[in-house]
Structure 1
């Protein structure tokens, strides 16, 4: 992304693209719809009986509908929140809870 100040200067014709430096540009990453795409994968795998167990490494309550559907389809749904708190709504719709990653105990 070009910084807002430089974008405005470019649009006003005060500078050209050739005058931009590394300091005028920054990398900006956004996750758009990642939870939805994962949920669709869970739903598809469950519906077509492609798996017997799903282990989701997350803790977001956005996955409640996907977890519910997987369990309705007879899939063992396990959650690994990596030692983070999970929403009680999500906890209600899982078959198991495990944090297998080493817990960060600090320096």
Structure 2
């Protein structure tokens, strides 16, 4: 993903990582206000299931030009019925990611 990113040793802005984390998805991907009992069953079962807090894998920290940090995280997503799966790469504010110990993910 970062093959063409300049890697300065004097002023590094990219820190590759591989660490389990908890991702706060509630701010970036908030739930809809639709009532579940008003949705067709095929939508409820076949749609992507996103919880407010999900396990993920931190793959990098990237420094923004304003000095703040962005966490680059991979999430394994699935449909509510577990028949469909996809990996999502999210770029999130640092505050939306927290470390996870190996037992909790």
TM-score of Structure 1 vs Structure 2, range by shorter chain: under 0.3
Structure 1-normalised TM-score? Answer: 0.23
Kindly indicate which of the two structures has a greater share of residues assigned to strand: 2
Q: Which has the higher contact order (CA 8 A, sep 6+)?
A: 2
Q: Structure 2 length normalisation: TM-score?
A: 0.23
